[in-house]
Amino acid sequence: MDTHELVANTARDKPEHAAEWSVGHGKIILLGEHSVVYGRHAVAAPLPFAIRALASDGANGIALSIPGWGVERRIPARAPQQQPAQDVVARLLRLITERLGLTGQDLRIRVDAGIPRGMGVGGSAALAVAIIRALGRHRGLQLSDEQVCALAFECEKIAHGTPSGIDNTVATYGHALLYRAGTPPEIERIVLDRPPPLVLGLCHHPGLTVETVAKVRRAWTEQCALHERVFDAMDAIALAGLNALRGHDWKRLGALMNMCQGQLESLGVSSDELDDMIRIARRHGAVGAKLTGGGGGGAMIALCPDGREPVIEALSGAGYDALEIRLR
């Protein structure tokens, strides 16, 4: 899925009979990715892209169709209870149907994917939320947002290993928030009365969050004290960034985004493509630019209070996909 398709997804009509489809929201992390896994604060917001799902009766097990991602799967009714570790889709469906009391039922799930896969913008969490809601609606389960979010978090453990819970929270509730992992997590809603003027840039290569999360985990295990200092610094940056965001101080927010990117680079989760896009954005007027999500590829964001078009044109001219985004 490239920029043209993303733009089309924000402007095109929703699926036919859209009210019957269930939604999971995509997201960006403005500040605090990776450190949020270790109990620090992060600032995140939903994107104007979403995943929608519709469940109905099926035949011979569970049929899952995600045309936008090239996914067509059928899980037979008599499939083994234990799915191979690498078969993430089958494991997710097995977990969801078990927790919802739908094991052994014949179901069809259609998914309209308005979010690129593997780009660090919350696609897996949005997919889980949309499917959980669709199945709950189809079977009249009256699931609360809290139940949906909790089950989606369990799905994220399959997809990413040790998630923080921020992706499934934004995917479920669909609003900007300050998040800190815990039992229960600390969640503070952020009202974006003046959304920051952002550009989203996409790498040519996806970023596998499960790999970058595991990479940081290994490094943290080997040098815990040093990494804890990095995470403390990122926590302070996120909290300062929240104040700048609320005060519409884009220059300060941009400086904090750049500082956060420096910390992420020290964790080894950036990439040559991300670094290149970030340099281009800064050279063409962005006051701040950083990766968003797990890194290793995927996506970056640039803060452009003096105009987004020069940054979009420069990124596009360098062969990258880029578009204006408006947070909600």
- Structure confidence at residue 14 (pLDDT): 57
Query: Locate tokens 């003027």: which residue?
Result: 197
> In the chain, which residues fall in CATH 3.30.70.890?
198-325
Task: For residue 265, give Cα distances in angstroms to 23, 53, 182, 261, 296.
Answer: 33, 36, 26, 6, 10
- Structure confidence at residue 6 (pLDDT): 56
Eight-state DSSP code of residue 320:
-
260: nearest Cα among 224, 300, 317: 300
- Structure confidence at residue 255 (pLDDT): 98
- Structure confidence at residue 11 (pLDDT): 43
pLDDT tens for the chain, 328 residues long, are 555 555 455 444 455 556 789 999 999 999 999 999 999 999 999 999 899 999 999 999 999 999 999 999 998 876 665 666 568 889 999 999 999 999 999 999 999 999 988 899 999 999 999 999 999 999 999 999 999 999 999 999 998 888 999 999 999 999 999 999 999 999 999 999 999 999 999 999 888 888 999 999 999 999 999 999 999 999 999 999 999 999 999 999 999 999 999 999 999 999 999 999 999 999 999 999 999 999 999 999 999 999 999 999 999 999 999 999 998 7
Is the peptide bond between 310 and the residue preceding it cis, with omega within 30 degrees of 0?
no
> In the chain, which residues fall in CATH 3.30.230.10?
3-189
What residues are annotated to the active site? 167
CA distance 282 to 275: 11
294, burial (CB in 10 Å: exposed 0-12, middle 13-18, buried 19+): buried
The CATH number, out of the four listed (3.40.50.150, 3.30.70.890, 1.10.10.60, 3.30.559.10), of the domain defined by the range 198-325: 3.30.70.890
Which pTM does this prediction carry?
Answer: 0.92
CA distance 109 to 132: 10
CATH number of 3-189: 3.30.230.10
CA distance 214 to 275: 21
**What's the token pair of residue 296?**
């290793």
Phi-psi region of 118 (alpha: psi -120 to 50; beta: other; left: phi over 0): left
- Structure confidence at residue 173 (pLDDT): 97
Contacts of 320 (CB under 8 A, 6+ apart): 201, 202, 203, 204, 273, 277, 280
Query: Locate tokens 């281009």: which residue?
Result: 280
CA distance 40 to 267: 15
Task: For residue 195, give Cα distances in angstroms to 18, 235, 287, 296.
Answer: 27, 22, 15, 27
